[in-house]
Chains A and B, each alone.
Chain A
Amino acid sequence: MIIETSGLRKSFRSRAGRETKTVEAVRGVDLSVAEGEIFGFLGPNGAGKTTTLRMLATLLEPDGGTAVIAGADLRKEPGEVRRRIGYVAQGGSTWDESTGREELVLHARMYGISKADAQRRATEALDTFELAEYADRRCKTYSGGQRRRVDIALGIIHSPKVVFLDEPTTGLDPQSRAHMWGEVRKLREMGMTVFLTTHYLDEADALCDRLAIMDHGQIVAEGTPADLKQEVLGDVVSVNAREVAKAADLFDNAEYVRKVETTEQSLRLYVEDGASAIPHVLRTLDAEGVSIEGIELHRPSLDDVFLAKTGRSLRES
């Protein structure tokens, strides 16, 4: 495991008027991330994603818990952790008056890299992220997507083992987002472990090998996107029929059905694997002479997972 954390905690004291309130931003996070994977942190605003990342990146001292990142202990050898990781902040990190190339060269040199090597790496990174054209323009003239790509290039300029990307695609248009997914996959191909946060369901689903769902400072579920969806609900087969009540009775004892729900005109069957359940369902209905008007297979989304774990929809929170 390239990242292992245990019981990571952080609370903030903030003042609202006269009262001081304590916000428990992260309440005991246990994680393990395997080398070479794209690991995602999915959660609504204020879930504690950034706080966790900032702790792992040595920017914020944890109140409790431990973490080992790329073989270095977060508390005992933060300097070593810094050498082995890259971090791209949620809010960006470029200076308006500098050019992309200057930022890259300086940032590389801050890792102790020689000037010549830093310049070579900068050129390489500018090519990788298709920024060569704008390399010598000031950052304030960049588009949002270009600027974000510079941020990512900065995060990996020293070839870290692990790179933390805090919401790499927030604020980008759909096309730039798709582009960015490609860049993130490129990082994995280059041998890096990527730890990213997002509150986009489709992004977590499409991009991440494994993910953790976070809410109110805690991890509520962890696994591959497919496993998570499977584990919580399986698939849903919904059947439109006239005699819903009668139809529902037929499945009370069917062992491949986990749960039966009825609405006015439809019957919802929660099953492990929808594709293999449909023939059974049809046969059962046919045998009892229940006529149906339609049948539909619905694969659960990560939002359904979030809903099942927290009682809220991610889209609403």
Chain B
Amino acid sequence: MKFLRDTWLVFQRQMQLLLRNPVWVAVGIIQPLFYLLLFAPLMKQALSAGGPMTDEQAYRIFVPGMLVMVALFSAFSGFGIIAELRAGVIERNRVTPVSRVALLLGRSLRDVVQLLFQAVLVTLLAVPFGLRVAVGDALLAYLLIGLMTLLLSSTGYALGLTLRSEDAMAPMLNTVIQPIMLLAGIFLPLTFAPQWLKNVANVNPFKWATDGVRALFAGNPGDDAVWQALAILTPLTVLALFISSRTFAKSVR
């Protein structure tokens, strides 16, 4: 009960601050538009090498990739927490009896809400381009990327609280996120990859997430990829929340 109330308090404040600064809404709209307009046509041509392809087929492959990409960026949440750390806000929160898990979860849930907003937007923007997807499938896909966001944003917070400097954080995130993105088959499905690359990609949990979301957008909720993605993301998310809330409890300065 107290935990839920605490989480709500933290979440509420974070949402309030987010809405106060509507720049991100504009960014959230413009960025996906770039990809839809400037990159999707190119990808369609490239994929057509394997056989002719309709717009709808192309967007069913492309949009899930973009959703996963946007979710991956939630790891950059760590930059925000460094600013809060520096302002003394985290320390002020930590002297109160507020739940340490709530300090994390309230923030991560804000990131999830923000991401889901973007995800719905991306999906809707792709409809005029020919995308068709069942509502139930889309909701399940949002659940998957919501989990991903929870996992990545809480990891980002743990990193931020541990590294405590943007200068250490930026190169670290870039080096980790780049290969994860490439190995998730976000832009081109890994079906075209040589075998060794497929093997490497198989250890990337986000490759499984991408496959799951693609299966859902292809209208196959029964596909193995869907439950596999859930089975991989759920324990990882729980683990990340656990570890990260401990950094909120321990964080030094």
Contact = CB atoms under 8 A, between A and B. Distances in A.
Interface of A: 57-60, 79, 82-83, 85-87, 89, 91-98, 102, 106-107, 109-112, 154
B246 interface: no
B91 A110 contact: no
Contacts of A87: 92, 95
Contact of A59 (B20, B87, B91, B98): B91
B93 interface: yes
Given A106-B9, A109-B9, A110-B98, A93 B92 contact: yes
A59 B9 contact: no
Nearest to B20: A97
A109 B6 CA distance: 9
B29 interface: no
A112 B97 contact: yes
Contacts of B96: 82, 107, 110-111
Nearest to B94: A59
Contact of B87 (A85, A92, A109, A112): A92
A38 B138 CA distance: 62
A95 B89 contact: yes
Main SS at interface, chain A: loop
A303 B27 CA distance: 58
Given A82-B97, A95-B84, A106-B13, A112 B2 contact: yes
B252 interface: yes
Contacts of A95: 17, 84, 87, 89
- On chain B, which size bracket covers the interface? 20 to 34
Contacts of B20: 97
B84 A110 contact: no
Contacts of B13: 98, 102, 106
Contacts of A98: 13, 17
Given A95-B84, A111-B96, A112-B97, A89 B91 contact: yes
15 contacts: A58-B94, A59-B91, A59-B95, A87-B92, A93-B88, A94-B87, A94-B88, A94-B89, A98-B13, A102-B13, A106-B9, A110-B6, A110-B9, A110-B96, A112-B2
Contact of B91 (A85, A93, A106): A93
A89 B84 CA distance: 14
Contact of A110 (B16, B21, B93): B93
Nearest to A88: B92
A91 B90 CA distance: 12
B7 to A, nearest CB: 12
Interface string B78-107: 000000100111011111111000000000
Contacts of A93: 87-89, 91-92
Contacts of A58: 94-95
Given A58-B94, A87-B92, A89-B88, 9 more contacts: A59-B95, A87-B95, A91-B88, A93-B91, A95-B84, A97-B21, A98-B17, A110-B93, A154-B92
Contacts of A94: 87-89
Nearest to A86: B95
Given A60-B252, A92-B87, A107 B94 contact: no
